[in-house]
Amino acid sequence: MTALPAQLANVSAECSVLSAAVYREDWLLDILQRVNVQDFTRSETAAVFDVIYKMHQRGEKVTLETLWLHNKELNDAGFVMGRDMTFSEMVNNPPAPHELSGFIDTLKEMTARRRIMQATQTAANMITKGEMAETAFAEIERLVMERTSTGMDREMLSPDKLADAIEAAVDERMNEKERKKRVIYSTFGMLNKFSGGFEKGDLVILSAESGAGKSAFSMNLADGIACSMKRPTLYLNSEMQTNQYALRWSSYLSKVSHTALRNGEASKDSAKLAKDTAAIIRNSALWTLNMPDMQVAAVLAEVRRAKAQHNIEIAFVDYIGRMDTMNFKDAKEWQVMKSAAQRLKTLAVELQITVVMVAQLTSDGGRLAQSSYMSHEADLWLNISRIKEDELQRYWPWNYGLIFRKARNCEAGKTIFLRFNGDTLTFTDQESEAKKMAGEKPALAGTTITKGGVPL
């Protein structure tokens, strides 16, 4: 094939990116987030990238050795052994860590240049053939706009199309079977009632102060969706090792004391009960991934992979405050977190899933840590908070509140009251169950709480 001018292609950068993809997994995830097959100009390099991408989508480990084993797939994709570049030349020269981002930027720059050149050449041909200038401008605009395409469908709605969409949307929501395809319900009845369920394409922020139960509430939500309703769910965990995470699930599902299990003090019957919960997980639709080095690019890549492999409908990212900021030079932490929220929202829309982003509040008034701007990207912002000690008697049997801080599809400011048992990591919004968990109503501490002179 004819080589492109140096101003439009950089084969050395293409090879460096391919070498990086088979050299380190974290590099591969970042590359797959930013690079696509159109960024490669040679049939050989494009074929190798195509096979790498497909291996990752299938969940296969991508290394130099495993890639070489896909000889037939490489040939089918367009790589011809012995023609021009060798396999070793393309994938056996990994860059230095500080160089990778620059090589990716070079690939994207070359792609942008080729698209601009294509647009100008197309416009020139149209003018030569006598096309109107307005038509040529429209074609240039279309071709250049492809550069910023996210892969999501864009559709201009005429009055007739919008009217048709209104009729279809109402019919869909009035049909229970069709409604459930677009909406995900939890096992918390009041949450479903107030929110209308979690919409696919929505970003939900679930926040709380440190140690206030945000991960436990996320587990409760994931259990109802994945274990009870069997809807494919991905849970990304950044805080715990597999053993710790598994122990929390066994305690929650069995209602056996987490402390007793952790300290090896549970009775034999209780231990058996906790162990038997493994059957619930085996029969669930819950996929979990522990990633203590949680990075934005890695999260996006893993969610995409889970969608492709398991057709997940909802993803929990626990939690946003632990996302690594090392790869964002000269950016403040709040800017990185805002960018993460934007990218997760875009991902939710693109994949048509719900993304629940767990975030930490500051202890000085309940602001979103790192960035209050994160909430701007959310369709629904729920905040979990403890009821103060001196108000427990007033709100008995509840000891927690779930506050709608922001809501696009329902009224903001509402509060759902919950009971939380920290030793079994269990939340409930059922009053009868809450009373069992609460035990005896606490006595008033100090003076009686009054309102307008009337005891509460």
Average pLDDT in the chain: 82
CATH class of 178-450: alpha beta
Task: Fill in the DSSP letter of residue 313.
Answer: S
Closest CA to 289 of 353, 334, 222: 222
446, pLDDT greater than 60: no
Q: Residue 185: which of 196, 201, 173, 169 has the closest Cα? A: 196
Confidence of residue 453 (pLDDT cuts 50, 70, 90): very low
Q: Is residue 263's pLDDT more than 50?
A: yes
CATH number given to 11-114? 1.10.860.10
Tell me the mean pLDDT in the region 302-321.
86
Q: What is the pLDDT of residues 175-192, one digit of tens each?
A: 877 777 889 999 999 999
pLDDT in tens, 68-89: 888 778 877 677 655 666 777 7
pLDDT at 420 (0 to 100): 95
State percent of the chain over pLDDT 90.
34
How buried is 268 (Cβ within 10 angstroms: 0-12 exposed, 13-18 middle, 19+ buried)? exposed
Q: Which of 188, 167, 170, 187 is nearest to 179 (CA)?
A: 170
Higher pLDDT residue, 234 or 210?
234
Mention every residue, 6+ apart, whose C-beta is less than 8 A from residue 361: 207, 208, 209, 210, 212, 367, 368, 369, 383
Lowest-pLDDT range, 207-211, 260-264, 363-367? 363-367
Rounded Cα distance between 430 and 417, Å, is 9
Q: Is the pLDDT of residue 330 over 50?
A: no
In the chain, what are the domain boundaries? 11-114, 178-450
Within 10 angstroms of residue 366's Cβ, the number of other Cβ atoms is 14
For 430-440, how does the pLDDT look when each residue is reduced to its tens digit (9 = 90+)? 999 999 998 87
Q: What does the pLDDT look like over 33-60, one tens digit per residue?
A: 788 898 999 888 898 999 998 888 787 8
- 183's tokens: 């909406």
Say if strands 450-451 and 454-455 run parallel, antiparallel, or are unpaired: antiparallel
Residues whose CB is less than 8 angstroms from the CB of residue 417 and which lie 6 or more positions away in sequence, other chains included: 395, 398, 400, 401, 402, 429
Q: What local confidence, expressed as pLDDT, does residue 148 receive?
A: 44
Residue 410 has pLDDT above 60, yes or no: yes
- Predicted local confidence at residue 83, as pLDDT: 60
Share of the chain above pLDDT 70, in %: 82
Lowest average pLDDT, out of 314-323, 326-335, 357-366, goes to 326-335
- pLDDT (tens digit per residue) in 204-226: 999 888 788 888 999 999 999 99
pLDDT at 130 over 70: yes
Q: Is the pLDDT of residue 345 over 70?
A: yes
pLDDT (0 to 100) of residue 160: 80
pLDDT band at 90 (very low <50, low <70, confident <90, very high): confident
DSSP-derived 3-state class of residue 158: coil
What's the pLDDT score for residue 398? 95
> Which residue has better confidence, 397 or 340?
397
Whether 380 has a pLDDT exceeding 80, the answer reads: yes
- 160 vs 429, higher pLDDT: 429
